[in-house]
Amino acid sequence: MHGREQTLLAGPPSSRTLITWSRVRVFAGLAPLFLLLILWLWAFYSEGAFRGGPSGKAFGADWAMFVGAAQVMNEGGNPYDHIVLYRTEQALLAGQGLPITEKRPVVRVGNPPLFFWALRPLAGLPFRPVACTWMALLYALSAAGFLALLRYLGWSRRFVPLVVFLAMPQVVTGAFYGNVIGVCFAAIAFGLLCLNRRPLVAGALLSLAWLKPPVALPIVFLIILFHPRVRKQLVTGFVTATAGITALTILLTGTHSLQSWITGLLGYSRDMSIQPDVASLAGLYVRWAPSTVRVMLELLLLGSALAITAAFWRTRREYQDRTAVAIASLWCVWMLATPYAHFFDEMLLAFPMLVLVGKDAYRIAWRLPAAATYFAFLSLMVMSATPFNVHLLPVPLLAVGVLLLRAAHDARFNSPRVPPAVRPS
Share of the chain above pLDDT 70, in %: 88
- pLDDT of residue 170 exceeding 90: yes
- Under the banding of pLDDT at 50, 70 and 90, the label for residue 104 is confident
pLDDT tens-place string over residues 351-373 = 999 999 988 888 888 889 999 99
- pLDDT of residue 131 exceeding 50: yes
- Under the banding of pLDDT at 50, 70 and 90, the label for residue 26 is low
pLDDT tens-place string over residues 176-200 = 999 999 999 999 999 999 998 999 9
Q: What one-character DSSP code corresponds to residue 339?
A: S
- Under the banding of pLDDT at 50, 70 and 90, the label for residue 211 is very high
> What per-residue confidence (pLDDT) applies to 227?
84
> What per-residue confidence (pLDDT) applies to 30?
77
Show me where the domains of the chain are located. 59-125, 126-422
Mean pLDDT of the chain: 86
Distance CA 225, CA 234 (A): 10
- Mean pLDDT over 149-161 rounds to 91
pLDDT tens-place string over residues 301-351 = 999 999 999 988 887 655 444 467 888 899 999 999 998 899 999 999 999
Burial (CB count within 10 angstroms: exposed 0-12, middle 13-18, buried 19+), residue 198: middle
For 243-265, b where at least 16 C-beta lie within 10 A, e where not — what string? eebeeebeeebeeebbebbeebb
pLDDT tens-place string over residues 43-83 = 999 988 898 899 998 899 999 999 999 999 999 899 999 89
Distance CA 56, CA 331 (A): 32
- pLDDT of residue 6 exceeding 80: no
The torsion angles phi and psi of 340, rounded to 5 degrees, stand at -155, 140
Share of the chain above pLDDT 90, in %: 60
- Mean pLDDT over 158-176 rounds to 94
> What per-residue confidence (pLDDT) applies to 362?
84
- pLDDT of residue 280 exceeding 70: yes
Burial (CB count within 10 angstroms: exposed 0-12, middle 13-18, buried 19+), residue 57: middle
Q: What one-character DSSP code corresponds to residue 11?
A: S
- Under the banding of pLDDT at 50, 70 and 90, the label for residue 14 is very low
How many helices (H) and strands (E) the chain has is answered by 19, 0
Distance CA 326, CA 313 (A): 10
> What per-residue confidence (pLDDT) applies to 320?
44
Strand partners, 56: 100
Q: What one-character DSSP code corresponds to residue 274?
A: G
- Under the banding of pLDDT at 50, 70 and 90, the label for residue 393 is very high
404 contact partners, CB below 8 Å, separation of at least 6: 325, 328, 329, 332, 352, 356, 372
> What per-residue confidence (pLDDT) applies to 383?
86
